[in-house]
Amino acid sequence: MASWVARIAWIIVAVLGGTAIDAALSDRSDAVGTTAAIGSWTLWGAVMLALAIPSVWSLTIARVLSPFAPGAAGAAALFGAPAVDVAALAVPSVVACGAIFSAGVGRAFVQASSYGDEQRLPLRLPVAAGAAAVASWLLWAPALAIGPLSFAAGSSIAGVVLSLLALVGGVLLVPRWHRLSRRWLVLVPAGLVVHDPVVLADTLMIRTDQIAGLRLAPADTTAADLTGPASGYAVEVQATEAVTTVFAFTPSQPDGRAIHMTAFLVSPTRPGEALRTAAARGLRVF
């Protein structure tokens, strides 16, 4: 359902949103207007294609590019576009972004890339990693938007510098943002897998006979925290024996940090669904 909300809202962005951009650039040169139009339609087409073909990569593309639309609405308002036109762009773009960043869309797109009999359950973002992603996007996005417009307006030096910064930033940042889409709790016939390249150095795999059960983690749990940490409810996985995992490499711990644990926490975006899915696969849920 959320996927269709995103698609329909994004179509409305194309149908109604262009008026606000045209009004904001009405007193600019034809070159600026043409550049803005090309950029807008490229953005819309890339996100629409991503929404039409669910996968982990298309989830990243949609989440990286769709926030440009509300940003364009804000810029149009600053440059004097009529309030009605701004609203016609802002409202559907905010609805589309809300759906694209929802747990439902994340689940559908991640599952679309699954292999065989597995259920991929996306994990919530660690607070620090999420904040870093937002901050880096807010630095990168203006350079990508303003660089070509500056060049079209005749500010060649500013246009080249900003465009180069956007290009380098995209090369460096997009793979990091994509890692945030590749964080899953995976239920497979052989057991359970935690695939989290942000928190863990390697995938954690636990056989069915090693799993004592799963539950919604209580506030006083002593289980090892593999959530990042992330906010909200966590699922506690209890093991029948000690298992080992290694946290991701950091400058202070270049070899990672190994821990032995008999219980650990993960943070599915939909913890209730994770427990129901585990129960349906015969795992003990309590």
Alpha helices of 25-101 — where are they, by DSSP H?
30-52, 56-65, 68-78, 83-100
Q: Which amino acid is at 155?
A: S
Q: Which of 15-19, 86-90, 120-124, 204-208 is the least confident region? A: 15-19
Asked if pLDDT for residue 250 goes beyond 90, the answer is no
Domains of the chain, by residue range, sit at: 1-113, 184-280
The arithmetic mean of pLDDT across residues 198-216, rounded, is 95
**Which of the 8 DSSP states describes residue 79?**
T
Cis-peptide, bond into residue 229, ω within 30° of zero: yes
Q: Which amino acid is at 131?
A: A
What pLDDT digit, counting tens, does each position of 142-193 carry?
999 999 999 898 898 999 999 999 999 999 999 999 999 999 999 999 999 9
* Average predicted confidence (pLDDT) for the chain: 94
pLDDT of residue 247: 93
Q: What is the model's pLDDT at position 116?
A: 86
The rounded distance, in Å, linking the Cα atoms of 220 and 152 is 59
Taking the complete model, does pTM exceed 0.85, yes or no? yes
* pLDDT at position 197 over 90: yes
Interatomic CA distance for residues 172 and 139, integer angstroms: 13
* pLDDT score of 233: 94
Taken in order 2, 71, 92, 31, the sign of the CA dihedral is negative
DSSP 130: H
* pLDDT over 90 at 28, yes or no: no
pLDDT (average), residues 19-30: 89
